[in-house]
Chain A
């Protein structure tokens, strides 16, 4: 950083007269008679709205009620933001110990803030999520500091807002917009929050004190909720019409039996949308009920699985400059993503037209990520197409993303070995070759590892960090930190055919092809998988991965694994021969020219079809556990959820297996083995599976 700026330090948050101290809340009344309540939770960098926080706030509000200040300001002392929401770790305990009573206590505090007779002002910088957003909504006026954002991510945990959000937000802004925010879990960033009416004013941090004084003295008026549309939505028929539309929209993304929360919220609003008191009661009851659902428990599990992967990212990656070899679709998007996240990137390829395409692709990734024109320019400036490979000598990390050809990769490694600087890491993005096949031509085997990204890189969060026998543990740690630095989730796996994810996924994809060969429509197969909870069916997924890559992976697994696999479908080979390699070619098993294929079918297919598809995934995961490919069952679940979207509401394949019971699964597999062949024989790992 620039020396002058370094000396000046970070921008200080305006905390009025409050000085930092111990305890969750700091408070002081300033010379204008304004009471500043500053949330600064002990022992953590992020504020959450815990039970302690609510209880202490209740006492402070009581003091303010007894001794009214001229106005009250609530804000956070954490540089990172306002508050991240409720303490999710406490949900399990709440579920079992009278959630409704605890919720009522929280609601009472929010209601008392809303009823205070003097102006109440919330200053929000960074994110105000969930309960944090609800605290802001209980205040009269919200001052957003540039960069602030507001959102209700509860739906992602199988819940809806539970501290008054379901009635306070629809009362403040257009109710359909409010419901949309709650149903999608999307965040409203500063400008959107202002235009929706969530934020009354937007200021820079340096003007917070002046804005607070203006709000306290009536110069910023409290927003009058609603408008004409709000009036209309007070009528039940209008709400029913809107609710119907919302249900149809929700059904496109999530089935009710898998994800009950959005439907519960819509029902509540349809019934009680004109009566805040009834809505409050319904919210408490519904939230307490949702807490107990398997869906919510499993989604909370997925949340913690993500945290546990994130825990492996800690520490410095020591990687400022990344050189990517190969400007194909994968290499190009890895380069673009790393540049977008602030790394200096060189992208090597002798084909300049491929480099050109990668630049265009990078711009489109920036657009999808909603980058401003200046951020896009800076990202593209950081990503240098490098036909001569000048970046190799300067890179801290070289990622090889060349075609899946061992000989070609070996040639590349031999050249890299001569040019890379000492201490630099060489990582391969191979998905179908094993590292032990490649390590022979690597100069420093200890600094060689796998860094397996999933397609499309800009959307898929998971990265497999692959260690072969000689990889330094420190290198794996640095690569995990690198994943964290570029906003990805690393899962550590060993050098096994297909690593973890492709090993588990390939039998599923191959079984889908067998089913097609048996004469079942691809739409019927894919619909069954979606009904199970997959984000897309196996045939569409194979198209998206690329049929050539799927074929290559299948052949490579079939060649290296002892375990029998399904015969590779002739239909698949023919597709690849014809160049109909899936989404990227516009045509695979589906026609992709007009976007995502539609599955218009009500046909359920054979009774055993879903198990024939899903159980091979579970079996392969057990193999990986037995072989030590993944560290533990939680990592397997995390990897499958974040790389393949494996039904998150089921908590991941291993959690699902546990729920269903190993015995039941093995019996089913044995039966399949008799009917369909030895590929279904349950792995010996099931005997010790817990």
Chain B
């Protein structure tokens, strides 16, 4: 049995820049702030939700299995199962994909699938040697044993590793994510200027979309305990220009690199949820679907060029459905780095790459910028790792509806050498 699966609604929080020190919300706080108004505006009650799936990479100690904690804090019934998924930058899309397949199989009718991340809360991690030393200290019985253990203490035990930095470094190649973008920029000849121009455009597009009210049903305000309302992404720079971008130093490979804080995605906190429903649920509750999920795909490649993950995951979908360059009306390709996005475009535009790697006869073609990330992306709004994959699917569905177009693909590269993609069709 294979049933139709619809995205019927969704919402995200504004993405809030990490500004040194933990932000006002934990991952589950964000998921609750985002989920409350979303559930509140549904024509069905909370008991109609069969399952909650939440993507989250940096789970904090107070919130193990954040999906379940969020579900209960949202007031869903105790019987509603919640589990969390983690595939780095793809986590928020993995939650949708899992929900999609459950509903397709017929075991569930309505699933709440989301992503939540509070990168500002990423923990300080003690060095492994320090952890072992502490454990030894705790085991040491009597003053002599403790004194002996004491002599093993080294000053650098107290120098914690920033968990976020560690998390953004690939453990196989020991390259951090920015370095993988440097690799792609070199391999595909993406120069600094092109990357900066892409980044500037991302800011302009997001600012325009926000001002035009395109995000008003998608981005819902959140309220912190200090009494502040956060109504919009706070990393966007509407007046971003080439001159100020040009002034920034490379962030990852000094002094000659081209990947800067200005043409990389921002480190932010944020959450996003989408509601998936079966045909039956759509009818029963008179829901108005935004889009139908048609297909999804995950792919793997060498971690040092993880940025091409989008190409590797999207292409099989394009081929399965015989979609040419003109058949995909809108693309949401997660903006981890400007150079990485441009490298993906270059790969699809490169005849040799398409023939030898993707199995095409000729180049797939050059994706029109007017169809790609039309309302900005992670460079302008930020990339709360476990959330982004969810947001791009939600925004694609909303943008397709607004533009009245038929076909769209949301795709992301994933740290560790993976990619994910999802094909949506207008209803």
| Chain A residues in the interface with B (C-beta under 8 A) | 2-3, 5, 344, 346, 352-353, 355-357, 359-361, 363, 377-378, 380-382, 384-388, 390-391, 394
Q: A355-B229, A356-B229, A390-B37 are in contact. Are A2 and B78 (CB under 8 A)?
A: yes
Do B73 and A360 touch (CB < 8 A)? no
* B: number of interface residues (CB 8 Å): 21
Do B223 and A359 touch (CB < 8 A)? yes
Q: Which residue of A3, A352, A363 contacts B225 across the interface (Cβ within 8 Å)?
A: A363
> Roughly how many angstroms separate A382 CA and B227 CA in the complex, as a whole number?
16
Q: Report the minimal beta-carbon distance from B35 to chain A, rounded to whole angstroms.
A: 10
Q: Report the minimal beta-carbon distance from A77 to chain B, rounded to whole angstroms.
A: 29
Q: A355-B223, A356-B228, A359-B224 are in contact. Are A382 and B41 (CB under 8 A)?
A: no
Q: A386-B37, A387-B221, A390-B40 are in contact. Are A360 and B79 (CB under 8 A)?
A: no
Q: Report the minimal beta-carbon distance from B127 to chain A, rounded to whole angstroms.
A: 30
Indicate whether B22 reaches chain A with its CB closer than 8 angstroms. Answer: no
Q: How many A-B contacts if CB must be within 8 Å?
A: 56
Q: A344-B75, A352-B221, A378-B73 are in contact. Are A384 and B227 (CB under 8 A)?
A: no
Map CB proximity to A onto B66-100 as digits: 1 under 8 Å, 0 otherwise.
00000001110111000000000000000000000
Main secondary structure of the interface of A (DSSP, over half): helix
Do B224 and A381 touch (CB < 8 A)? no
Q: Which residues of B contact A386 (CB under 8 A)?
A: 37, 40
Indicate whether B355 reaches chain A with its CB closer than 8 angstroms. Answer: no
Do A352 and B78 touch (CB < 8 A)? no
Do B37 and A352 touch (CB < 8 A)? no
Q: Which residues of A contact B36 (CB under 8 A)?
A: 381, 384
> Roughly how many angstroms separate A355 CA and B229 CA in the complex, as a whole number?
7
Map CB proximity to A onto B279-301 as digits: 1 under 8 Å, 0 otherwise.
00000000000000000000000
Q: Which residue of B is nearest A361, CB measured?
A: B227
Do A356 and B227 touch (CB < 8 A)? yes
| Chain B residues in the interface with A (C-beta under 8 A) | 32, 36-37, 40-41, 73-75, 77-79, 220-221, 223-229, 231
> Roughly how many angstroms separate A384 CA and B34 CA in the complex, as a whole number?
10
8 inter-chain pairs at a CB distance below 8 angstroms, sorted by A residue, are A2-B77, A355-B229, A356-B223, A356-B227, A359-B224, A381-B73, A390-B40, A391-B40
> Roughly how many angstroms separate A381 CA and B31 CA in the complex, as a whole number?
11
Q: Which residues of B contact A356 (CB under 8 A)?
A: 223-224, 227-229
Q: Which residue of A is nearest B222, CB measured?
A: A385
Q: Which residues of A contact B231 (CB under 8 A)?
A: 352
Do A2 and B79 touch (CB < 8 A)? yes
Q: Report the minimal beta-carbon distance from B49 to chain A, rounded to whole angstroms.
A: 15
Q: Which residue of B is nearest A378, CB measured?
A: B73
Q: Which residues of B contact A355 (CB under 8 A)?
A: 221, 223, 229
Do B32 and A390 touch (CB < 8 A)? no
Q: Which residues of A contact B75 (CB under 8 A)?
A: 344, 381-382
Contacts A352-B221, A357-B227 aside, 9 further interface pairs with beta carbons under 8 A come to: A2-B78, A356-B227, A359-B224, A359-B227, A360-B227, A378-B73, A381-B73, A390-B37, A390-B41
Q: Which residue of B is nearest A352, CB measured?
A: B229
Q: Report the minimal beta-carbon distance from A223 to chain B, rounded to whole angstroms.
A: 34
Do A385 and B227 touch (CB < 8 A)? no
Do B223 and A385 touch (CB < 8 A)? yes
Q: Report the minimal beta-carbon distance from B118 to chain A, rounded to whole angstroms.
A: 15
Q: Report the minimal beta-carbon distance from B279 to chain A, rounded to whole angstroms.
A: 25
> Roughly how many angstroms separate A359 CA and B223 CA in the complex, as a whole number?
7
Q: Which residues of B contact A381 (CB under 8 A)?
A: 32, 36, 73-75
> Roughly how many angstroms separate A394 CA and B32 CA in the complex, as a whole number?
18
> Roughly how many angstroms separate A385 CA and B228 CA in the complex, as a whole number?
12
Q: Which residues of B contact A344 (CB under 8 A)?
A: 75
Q: Which residues of A contact B73 (CB under 8 A)?
A: 377-378, 381
> Roughly how many angstroms separate A500 CA and B76 CA in the complex, as a whole number?
42
> Roughly how many angstroms separate A377 CA and B72 CA in the complex, as a whole number?
12
- Among B40, B224, B225, B231, the most chain A Cβ lie within 10 Å of the Cβ of B40
Q: Which residues of A contact B32 (CB under 8 A)?
A: 381
Q: Report the minimal beta-carbon distance from A633 to chain B, rounded to whole angstroms.
A: 44
Do B37 and A388 touch (CB < 8 A)? yes
> Roughly how many angstroms separate A2 CA and B221 CA in the complex, as a whole number?
32
Q: Report the minimal beta-carbon distance from B76 to chain A, rounded to whole angstroms.
A: 12
Q: Report the minimal beta-carbon distance from B30 to chain A, rounded to whole angstroms.
A: 12
Q: Report the minimal beta-carbon distance from A51 to chain B, rounded to whole angstroms.
A: 46
Q: Report the minimal beta-carbon distance from A378 to chain B, rounded to whole angstroms.
A: 7
Do B221 and A385 touch (CB < 8 A)? yes
Q: Which residues of B contact A388 (CB under 8 A)?
A: 37, 41, 220
Q: Report the minimal beta-carbon distance from A613 to chain B, rounded to whole angstroms.
A: 39
Q: Which residues of A contact B229 (CB under 8 A)?
A: 352-353, 355-356, 385
Q: Report the minimal beta-carbon distance from B169 to chain A, rounded to whole angstroms.
A: 33
Q: Which residue of A360, A378, A382 contacts B226 across the interface (Cβ within 8 Å)?
A: A360
Q: A352-B229, A357-B227, A363-B225 are in contact. Are A394 and B78 (CB under 8 A)?
A: no
Q: Which residue of B is nearest A2, CB measured?
A: B78
> Roughly how many angstroms separate A388 CA and B77 CA in the complex, as a whole number?
25
Q: Report the minimal beta-carbon distance from B216 to chain A, rounded to whole angstroms.
A: 9
Q: Which residues of A contact B221 (CB under 8 A)?
A: 352, 355, 385, 387
> Roughly how many angstroms separate A97 CA and B221 CA in the complex, as a whole number?
67
Do A384 and B40 touch (CB < 8 A)? yes
Q: Report the minimal beta-carbon distance from A534 to chain B, rounded to whole angstroms.
A: 34
> Roughly how many angstroms separate A390 CA and B32 CA in the complex, as a whole number?
16
Q: Which residue of A3, A346, A359, A380 contacts B40 across the interface (Cβ within 8 Å)?
A: A346
Q: Which residues of A contact B223 (CB under 8 A)?
A: 352, 355-356, 359, 385
Q: Which residue of A is nearest B228, CB measured?
A: A356
Q: A352-B231, A386-B40 are in contact. Are A359 and B225 (CB under 8 A)?
A: yes
Q: Which residue of B is nearest A366, CB measured?
A: B225
> Roughly how many angstroms separate A382 CA and B220 CA in the complex, as a whole number?
17
> Roughly how many angstroms separate A2 CA and B227 CA in the complex, as a whole number?
34
Q: Which residues of B contact A346 (CB under 8 A)?
A: 40
Q: Which residues of A contact B227 (CB under 8 A)?
A: 356-357, 359-361
> Roughly how many angstroms separate A386 CA and B79 CA in the complex, as a whole number?
27
Do B37 and A384 touch (CB < 8 A)? yes
Q: Which residues of A contact B40 (CB under 8 A)?
A: 346, 384, 386, 390-391, 394
